[in-house]
């Protein structure tokens, strides 16, 4: 060993440390898969012990933990429920995001706020997927509350990352929805029910496993602004359902219908597919296609 090499190695080891991360919404479907891919000390926060709408509690928790990175996946995701409970939706998705941003600034932590494709939709059907620079325009209380959360996060923590994804589904399910689209289709199809699924709403269905992997990669780079993380291609909900049954080799009576034949309390975007211009700039590979993600999900489920 060259003279001084031992001292240099000791110095480098003393300077190096693992990233401490606080994961808010840890029990959700994305939170569960993030736990599997994040390295270093990981602190988990979620209901009922932790309430993101309580500003004092948020500040105290982050001040005690003092993480290097905060990932905020907490959200009220019941799209229809948000229409009749707008106050609650904004309390969680917007004011909760504000509380986290303020607390993150106070301890000098990098912040990732997970948002949604439902911040888009007002433009109607499009020929191309939305990119980060496109102007948002939500059509539901849920979408509006998440857009407000984006704006408050960016305003109070300018160095933060707003990460938008689309049509998330994971093995843990979405608590606010009682499962996810894949599991709902498999359950109903397995019961022999004839199913009618809308074919005029286009999304980029994304597995939480795939999304979590990209979040982990971006966390190392710590970009600022907005980044889209979603399946590399898009489909209608009917196409998605048809592929679920095809991959599971299930014979199901499945009929495509227009949205007008399936009214819901909340209006859904006719088109909210996402594409990223920034992932390539950051040197991060895009997500795989939705069929490949679905295959991985179903394979792990069996």
CA gap 236, 241 in Å, rounded: 9
Average pLDDT score over residue span 85-95? 98
CA gap 52, 90 in Å, rounded: 11
Angle (CA) 246 270 167, round 5°:
50
Average pLDDT score over residue span 279-287? 96
- For 24, phi then psi, to 5°, come to -95, 130
Q: What is the pLDDT of residue 61?
A: 98
CA gap 83, 62 in Å, rounded: 31
Check whether 301 has a pLDDT greater than 50: yes
Summarised one tens digit per residue, pLDDT across range 210-249 is 999 999 999 999 999 999 999 999 999 999 999 999 999 9
Check whether 145 has a pLDDT greater than 90: yes
Average pLDDT score over residue span 156-177? 87
Enumerate long-range contacts of 122-131, CB under 8 Å, 24 or more apart: 123/271, 124/270, 124/271, 125/200, 125/202, 125/270, 125/271, 126/271, 128/275, 129/204, 129/234, 129/273, 129/274, 129/275, 130/228, 130/272, 130/273, 130/274, 130/275, 131/228, 131/274, 131/275, 131/276, 131/277
Summarised one tens digit per residue, pLDDT across range 48-77 is 999 999 999 999 999 999 999 999 999 999
Mean pLDDT of the chain: 93
Check whether 181 has a pLDDT greater than 90: yes
Q: Are 90 and 142 in contact (CB under 8 A)?
A: no
Average pLDDT score over residue span 161-175? 88
* Reduced 3-state DSSP string for 264-302: CCCCCCCECCECCCHHHHHCCCCCCCHHHHHHHHHHHHC
Indicate the SS3 state at residue 61: helix
Q: Are 235 and 243 in contact (CB under 8 A)?
A: yes
The residues assigned a catalytic role are 142
Average pLDDT score over residue span 163-167? 97
Burial string for 267-279 (b: 16+ CB within 10 Å, else e) reads: bbbbbbbbbbebb
Side-chain half-sphere of 290: how many Cα atoms within 13 Å? 27
Residues near 134 by beta carbon (within 8 Å), at least 6 away in sequence: 120
Side-chain half-sphere of 47: how many Cα atoms within 13 Å? 13
pTM of the model: 0.92
> What confidence tier does 163 reach under pLDDT thresholds 50, 70, 90?
very high
CA gap 26, 36 in Å, rounded: 11
């Amino acid at each position: 060993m060259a003279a001084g090499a031992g001292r240099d190695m000791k110095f480098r080891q003393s300077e190096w440390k693992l990233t401490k991360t606080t994961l808010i919404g840890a029990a959700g479907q994305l939170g569960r898969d993030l736990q599997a891919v994040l390295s270093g000390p990981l602190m988990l926060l979620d209901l009922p012990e932790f309430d993101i709408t309580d500003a004092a509690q948020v500040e105290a928790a982050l001040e005690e933990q003092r993480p290097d990175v905060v990932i905020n996946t907490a959200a009220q995701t019941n799209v229809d429920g948000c229409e009749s409970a707008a106050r609650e939706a904004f309390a969680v998705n917007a004011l909760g995001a504000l509380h986290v941003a303020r607390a993150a600034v106070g301890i000098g932590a990098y912040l990732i706020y997970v948002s949604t494709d439902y911040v888009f939709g007002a433009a109607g059907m499009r020929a191309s997927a939305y990119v980060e620079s496109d102007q948002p325009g939500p059509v539901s209380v849920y979408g509006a509350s998440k857009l407000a959360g984006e704006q408050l996060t960016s305003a109070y923590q300018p160095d933060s990352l707003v990460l938008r994804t689309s049509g998330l589904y994971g093995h843990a399910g979405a608590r606010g929805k009682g499962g996810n689209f894949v599991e709902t289709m498999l359950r109903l199809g397995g019961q022999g029910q004839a199913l009618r699924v809308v074919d005029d709403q286009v999304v980029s269905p994304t597995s939480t496993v795939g999304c979590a992997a990209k979040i982990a990669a971006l966390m190392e780079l710590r970009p600022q602004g907005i980044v889209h993380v979603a399946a590399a291609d898009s489909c209608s909900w009917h196409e998605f359902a048809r592929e679920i049954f095809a991959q599971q080799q299930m014979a199901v009576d499945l009929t495509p219908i227009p949205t007008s034949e399936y009214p819901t309390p909340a209006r859904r975007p006719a088109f909210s597919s996402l594409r990223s211009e920034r992932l390539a700039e950051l040197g991060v590979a895009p997500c795989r296609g939705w069929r490949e993600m679905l295959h991985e999900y179903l394979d792990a489920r069996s």
